[in-house]
Amino acid sequence: MLAGTLVVGNDHGDDGDALSIQAVHLEMAADAAAVGGVAVTRVVIDATGGNTWLDPAAALVIAGVVAIHPARLLVRIQASLSDRAGLAVVVGSSAVRRPTRRRRRCR
């Protein structure tokens, strides 16, 4: 899993490809974090004499950390799609209107 994450993370393409590759990279990194978290939690539970409450606590921490990165990626994807469509991008409390392409009229 780690080798696959490193290989996918080093792949570069155009902006659309880069975003999809980043999504795959995030999925693989999330899987690796979950597996690592389970292993570390199991060792800590055994070392502390059976504190089983650590298992769901660790799962919540891992889920919180893993959720931050896809949320950021979704914002970048929305901005990329808005740029391509020429739509407004909401930044804070104001919207920035992107210039639209003018179509040529047929005679």
Tens of pLDDT, residues 9-31 = 555 555 556 888 888 888 898 89
Of 20 and 54, the one with more pLDDT: 54
In a domain, 103, yes or no: no
- Per the structure, the count of domains in the chain is 1
Residue 106 maps to a domain: no
Contact call for residues 29 and 67 (beta carbons, < 8 A)? no
Cα distances (Å, whole numbers) of residue 60 to 25, 84, 97: 21, 36, 39
3-state secondary structure of 78: helix
On whether residue 62 sits in a domain, the answer given is yes
Q: Report if residue 85 sits inside a domain.
A: yes
Residue 77 lies in a domain: yes
Q: What is the 3-state secondary structure (H, E, C) of 90-103?
A: EECCEEECCCCCCC
Q: Does residue 102 form part of some domain? A: no
Q: Cα(25)–Cα(62) distance, rounded to whole angstroms? A: 16
Domain that holds residue 85: 2-96
Question: Within a domain: residue 39?
Answer: yes
Is this prediction's pTM over 0.75?
no
Domain membership of residue 56 (yes or no) is yes
